[in-house]
Structure 1
């Protein structure tokens, strides 16, 4: 991967990649693997980008696909007993306890619902979320309302 590509096309969108990878991993090691693979796949697929959507939309799509694929491969992999919250204290990515709780709750959602709420939290319009997920904007609106209720229940119970 060229330094120019990484600097101009990945670093400005690193926040997107980080948030998605964090929502699909339970350890720092897995996070680093997912992040690295997402960056590699973005680089490999750059020629396939047809500019029919924004570059950030492409980043979301590629990163989500990587995370979903790696999550399926890792399903049978035993995770350490440490939660991501505990291991994140060392990398300072989650110093805010409320953010830790939110990510713990998001991890309880289905894979698709995780993707939808992450896109919503990034303030993407329903139409763009629908394009990334492959459904209608109306469906996204309904799902976001359901996801918010589910997250509220999880957070009110402080996640179990």
Structure 2
């Protein structure tokens, strides 16, 4: 199970990094959130039933973890000893400088808008985005158009 989990994280870690980058402003907070997301994924992994794509499931947990931790006033210290060392983030896991402008622009969006545009950029279908966010497919299309217009104006 451990090897399968590590392989899944390897294949989808870019989406986790994007969530961290979108929902935290500094590198230290991004690294903390990354560890918390991987920890939550590890805890939940035995319950994954394969009813959705693994990337969809991981994004949902990453997003929920980012939002929950953002809202908590006091963040508890979690023991990350069981997480494979490979997934303790370093500055090497950050994005290239030319992506910084994009992330700064996306950080100005609200939580739902960030999620929708991130999933869209990751090439998730409207149906998958609707499932993750909890809105209708047609609402995804409407929101995406509004987000695109909002970003054009900025």
The alignment's TM-score, normalised by the length of structure 1, stands at 0.79
Count of residues paired in the alignment: 138
How far, CA to CA, are the matches of 1:6 and 1:52 in structure 2? 17
1:95: how far off? 2.9
Gaps in structure 2 of 5+ consecutive residues:
75-90
2:58 is matched with which residue?
A: 59
Q: Deviations over 1:55-76 (max 9, x none)?
A: 111001000001111121269x
Within a 5 Å distance, the mapping from 1:1-160 to structure 2 comes to: 4-73=3-72, 91=92, 93-97=94-98, 99-154=99-154
Poorly superposed stretches of 4+, deviation over 2 Å? 90-97
1:6: how far off? 4.2
2:77 is matched with which residue?
A: none
How far, CA to CA, are the matches of 1:67 and 1:106 in structure 2? 15
RMSD of the alignment, in Å?
1.9
How far, CA to CA, are the matches of 2:8 and 2:73 in structure 1? 28
The alignment's TM-score, normalised by the length of structure 2, stands at 0.82
CA contact (8 A) 2:130 2:137 kept: yes
Gaps in structure 1 of 5+ consecutive residues:
76-89, 155-160
